[in-house]
Amino acid sequence: MRQQAMFERILNRFGKANVLVIGDIMMDRFIWGKVSRISPEAPVPVVLVEKETFLLGGAANVVNNIHSLGGKVLPCGVVGDDEMGQKVVSELKRMGVETRGIFVEEGRQTTVKTRIVAHQQQVVRIDRETAGPPRPSTLRNLSEFLRECMKNLHGIIMSDYGKGLLTKDLIRSTIRRAREARRFVLVDPKLQNFFHYKGATVVTPNMSEASAAAGIGITDLASLRRVGKVLQRRLRCDVLVVTRGEEGMAIFEPHQEPYLVPTVAREVYDVTGAGDTVIGTMALALAGGARAKDAARLANYAAGIVVAKVGTATVTRKELIEAIRERQ
């Protein structure tokens, strides 16, 4: 009961949090249908389409998660001057999220991940994107926007999906500015930029990313500890959180033994976007004054809810409170 009360106090502070999310903004498109036969043209299923849905993806899904949990969030990123870019901006505005940090770049294609789902199973994914850094003028505008709004933030999330927005220079300047302003920086990294995030407050790789970055295969708890020690030393981060899928997460802090958080998920249907939920929940908790371990444990509850949903999903404060009460 004491833990439940502590978590609920943290949740009650979510509404006062102000977090900026910078990263690769996407649209997740889902085509839902049924399969009743195999194509006579090739050995592939024929999907009879029943409906089509669009959800914010990538860094925009982190934004969606923070908004769903009641926090104030400011997105920062780039979209193309195309239909999907307009759709992203329109959806954010519909939610009541400020969009002045979304920069439209002519000739760039907004990243769209199209998933064809039949009988609750993903059949195939089709990606459309422009992978590569934005133009120098776009990066200058984006950097100036970050500088102007830093003083009003509790912290920053850097959501890296490897699509090119987060360049080495942008990463380093953002972390430096945040540190100078005493704002936290949470990072969901991609391997190609992994060690550019040196000095971030919290870094949250999954197991495969952590293993590859450290150059050590994770086969047991001993090797997981070695990976955590290597990465924390090289990243110089305050906290390293290795997400372990169905096994929960491992939290590494300097001069402390790793803290293992078991999963609270009862069923796992779809892990799409679970990392976005984890980092968004952690940011709100840290903004409310939670310790890193408590923020990670709360995020673990949120992840346990979202993996039980099919598709890119979010969690509400009500769902999170109910999940905590059920487990106490």
Determine the average pLDDT of the residues in 52-70.
94
pLDDT above 90: residue 325: no
User: How, if at all, do strands 18-23 and 72-80 pair?
Assistant: parallel
CA distance 144 to 314: 30
**pLDDT of 110-150, one tens digit each?**
999 999 999 888 899 999 999 899 999 999 999 999 999 99
Read off the pTM. Answer: 0.91
pLDDT above 60: residue 271: no
Map tokens 């799409």 to a residue.
272
pLDDT above 80: residue 92: yes
Mean pLDDT, the chain, rounded, equals 90
**Cα torsion 284, 285, 288, 292: sign:** negative
Q: Which of 208-212, 292-296, 302-306, 309-313 has the lowest mean pLDDT?
A: 309-313
**pLDDT of 140-179, one tens digit each?**
999 999 999 998 999 999 999 999 999 999 999 999 999 9
**Cα torsion 308, 284, 250, 165: sign:** positive
**pLDDT of 199-217, one tens digit each?**
999 999 999 999 999 999 9
**pLDDT of 273-287, one tens digit each?**
678 889 999 999 999
pLDDT above 80: residue 235: yes
Domains of the chain, start order: 2-25+56-111+130-327 (3.40.1190.20)
pLDDT at 115: 94
Dump the DSSP string for 92-158.
HHHHT---TTEEEETTPPPEEEEEEEETTEEEEEEEE---SPPPHHHHHHHHHHHHHHGGG-SEEEE
CA-based nearest residue to 243, from 219, 278, 295, 292: 278
Pseudo-torsion of CA 79, 99, 277, 160, nearest 10°? 40
Where is pLDDT greater, at 57 or 4? 57
SS3 of 256, please? coil
Q: Which of 15-29, 172-186, 310-324 has the lowest mean pLDDT?
A: 310-324
CA distance 84 to 113: 11
pLDDT above 90: residue 236: yes
Considering the chain, what percentage of its residues have pLDDT values greater than 90?
72
pLDDT at 309: 64
**pLDDT of 308-321, one tens digit each?**
665 556 788 888 87
CA distances from 224 to 195, 211, 259 (A): 18, 8, 11
Structure tokens at 314: 């979010």
Cα 22 to chain centroid distance, Å, stands at 10
pLDDT above 70: residue 300: yes
Per the annotation, the verdict on 276 as an active-site residue is yes
Are 28 and 57 spatial neighbours (Cβ–Cβ below 8 Å)?
Answer: yes
The one catalytic residue in 24, 82, 276, 294 is 276
